[in-house]
Amino acid sequence: MTTEVEFVQMSQDGKIIIPKKLREGFEEGTPFAVIRDKDTFLLKPVKFPGVKEFEALVKKGVKIAKKRKIRESDVDKIVHRHLKVAV
């Protein structure tokens, strides 16, 4: 796919309409991650795991947590610490 550029404006309530020709290939309801880096926004479609994939991820996470001796009460602290680093 080639790079395409279209010009749009943000509405008063913060909405930006993606032009129809740039939406081709995406269905209504497609979830996107919106990433901002200074004055640049990036939209990335996100595919969430299905139930079986999610259960496999949880099982893997539990196994890793046990190996590293991470208690359930530690999880919030770990998540918040990493969120602060990522921002």
Band of residue 80 on the pLDDT scale cut at 50, 70, 90: confident
Contacts of 12 (CB under 8 A, 6+ apart): none
Q: What is the pLDDT of residue 25?
A: 93
pLDDT at 86: 53
Mean pLDDT across 64-69 = 93
Question: Which residue, chain included where needed, has tokens 């530690």?
Answer: 74
Domain ranges in the chain are 51-86
How does DSSP classify residue 14?
Answer: S
Q: Which residue has the tokens 């139930």?
A: 51
pTM (2 d.p.):
0.54
Query: pLDDT grade, residue 85 (50/70/90)?
Result: low
What's the pLDDT tens digit per position in 15-66?
A: 999 999 999 999 999 999 999 999 999 999 998 889 999 999 999 999 999 9
Copy the structure tokens of residue 36. 């901002």
